[in-house]
Structure 1
Amino acid sequence: MQGQQMITMFLLLSCLQQTVTGSIIVNGNRVPDGEMQYMASLQDISGHHVCGGFLVSDNFVLTAAHCFDRNLPVRVVLGDHNLKESNNNGQTIEIDKKFKHPSYKNVGFGDDLMLLKLKKRAVLGNGVEVIQLPTVNMKVKADDLCQVAGWGATHTGGRTVDGLMVVKVPIINITTCTEKWGMLPHNVICAGGYTTNRGFCQGDSGGPLVCKNTAVGVVSFNRRFNCNYKDEVPNVFVDISKYVVWILETMSN
């Protein structure tokens, strides 16, 4: 790697290391109970929300690998959009096994994916459902409106919220995104956080980017703690379509 490229990567990693786990949606709306029933709250031993995730089968949740850099989450909560007011549909299930993508080293180098096998199968229906995965190498189009959801603060420096929030974000051309960042990991999608006041902030880590009822991306990183979008760089998601084979093989094995 040439000197200038090494400097650029160092600066990128310096920015990425200032992201934090959690779910923070900027300029979003509350999610009705009957929608986005695949959402999962990854929680630590004290029941505090750490990261987002989403149910891709009755016993596997997909999330971001960097959510476990500190080995915090021990369980998932399904079917509860409000984490403080549990309903009859809520299911709390312990995590049995964690499968980081074998190439993952650091969020700045990409491959920021992890599958969580649950200790028991989720009961589908009554507020809990799986979400469809994309086909291999499925493409999303620039300017398409998609959704990202999570629990957390709604502005820079704000406090987390109890209710699940969702916001629509436009897909950003990957060439434009790369130009704004200077360098990006491979296999990513950019959406929101640039030329718009909508997006995630300080993570929303592990949650899905949903386009046409399909989970096409996993929340990976943005820049530092700044949620004052429009003048910022785009939000970055892992492109799930590039990892479908690994996901299916891991779940089947």
Structure 2
Amino acid sequence: MHPLHTCLLFHLLMFLGRSAATINGELAPENSMLYMASVQDSNGHHLCGGFLIREDFVLTAVYCDPRITHVVLGTHDLKSVNDDNKISIKEKYKHESYKKVTTGNDIMLLKLSKKVSLNGRVQTIPLPTSGMNNQDACQVAGWGAIKTGGPAVDDLRVVNVSIINLEVCTQVWGRLPDNVICAGGYGTKKGFCQGDGGGPLVCNGKAVGVVSFNNNENCNYPNVPNVYTDVSMYLPWINCVLNCYK
């Protein structure tokens, strides 16, 4: 394993949690991605992405905690947030095996204080029923900077990414946590950046991954692949939380 890859992997926590958006993406159409959630702190600052999987649950990444207090649904423009689309968080369910991003299990469910109404502005997104197909065409979306070290943006942006074979991804990184998907950020100039964390990797209309980490604050691709938590590997845990903690 190359020493540089080892160093990068074990210093990922240095940059996690900063706001950012998709690199080389475009504005998401207003009638698209109605499941997207902005996960925010008590001051209304966007910290991470998330996605609505049931009227009262948002899926995101663990590292977004502990500052988060509420989510924003129903708008692509974070300048237009009001009390109607801000929903407080009643409970946080972190995966019990999570220790830090570099060891995986970076997945968390947020129980909302109330059920939201599904309508022309807010919808849920289905989860996968099985593993990934490497040929799937996918998208990732988020709010924030559009280049390394750049300022945040208020409008949701989206970019197309391709799945990268996990064996290839592991060879490039040198070491990866279990239960991950790689897509974008390698052999391309497209991918996610800090703060997109917790948002969905969407393939064929399903949320197959949760944005987890990239290459040590460097969003100037290509370098190493972007890494997501593989949602399909956590379906029993997700279903348990949804059905056991009502």
Q: TM-score, normalised by structure 1?
A: 0.91
Quote the Cα distance in structure 1 between the aligned partners of 2:180 and 2:167. 11
Residue in structure 1 matched with residue 198 of structure 2 by the alignment: 206
CA shift for structure 1 position 16: 4.3
**Given the alignment, which residue of 24, 46, 50 partners 1:49?**
46
- 1:183 matched to 2:180: no
Residue 239 of structure 1 aligns to which amino acid in structure 2? D
Residue 39 of structure 1 aligns to which amino acid in structure 2? M
Q: Rate the CA distance shift 1:193–1:10 in 2: closer, same or farther, 3 A.
A: closer
Map residues 5-44 of structure 1 onto 2, 5 A cutoff.
12-44=9-41
Quote the Cα distance in structure 1 between the aligned partners of 2:5 and 2:173. 9
CA shift for structure 1 position 91: 1.5
Residue in structure 2 matched with residue 121 of structure 1 by the alignment: 115
Quote the Cα distance in structure 2 between the aligned partners of 1:177 and 1:204. 20
Q: Secondary structure at the match of 1:156?
A: coil
**Given the alignment, which residue of 62, 65, 90 partners 1:65?**
62
Residue in structure 1 matched with residue 124 of structure 2 by the alignment: 130
Whether the aligned pair in 1 keeps the contact of 2:173 and 2:224 (CA below 8 Å) is: yes
Whether the aligned pair in 2 keeps the contact of 1:65 and 1:112 (CA below 8 Å) is: yes
Residue 25 of structure 1 aligns to which amino acid in structure 2? T
CA shift for structure 1 position 162: 0.7
Superposed CA RMSD: 2.0
- 1:155 matched to 2:147: yes
Q: Secondary structure at the match of 1:219?
A: strand
Quote the Cα distance in structure 1 between the aligned partners of 2:175 and 2:188. 21
Quote the Cα distance in structure 1 between the aligned partners of 2:131 and 2:92. 28
Whether the aligned pair in 1 keeps the contact of 2:209 and 2:231 (CA below 8 Å) is: yes
Residue 132 of structure 2 aligns to which amino acid in structure 1? V
**Given the alignment, which residue of 214, 227, 243 partners 1:222?**
214
Q: Rate the CA distance shift 1:61–1:229 in 2: closer, same or farther, 3 A.
A: same
Q: Secondary structure at the match of 1:200?
A: coil
Quote the Cα distance in structure 2 between the aligned partners of 1:86 and 1:114. 24
Residue in structure 2 matched with residue 235 of structure 1 by the alignment: 226
Q: Secondary structure at the match of 1:25?
A: coil
Whether the aligned pair in 1 keeps the contact of 2:137 and 2:204 (CA below 8 Å) is: no
Q: Secondary structure at the match of 2:163?
A: strand
Provide Cα deviations, 1:132-183, integer angstroms capped at 9, x if missing partner. Answer: 0011xx2323343200000011111111111000000010000010001000
Moved more, 156-165 or 182-191: 156-165
Residue in structure 2 matched with residue 82 of structure 1 by the alignment: 77
Q: Secondary structure at the match of 1:154?
A: coil
CA shift for structure 1 position 184: 0.1
- Unaligned 5+ segments in structure 2 are none
Q: TM-score, normalised by structure 2?
A: 0.94
Identity of aligned residues (%): 52
Whether the aligned pair in 2 keeps the contact of 1:204 and 1:219 (CA below 8 Å) is: yes
Residue in structure 1 matched with residue 242 of structure 2 by the alignment: 251
Whether the aligned pair in 2 keeps the contact of 1:24 and 1:204 (CA below 8 Å) is: yes
CA shift for structure 1 position 86: 4.1
Q: Rate the CA distance shift 1:192–1:165 in 2: closer, same or farther, 3 A.
A: same
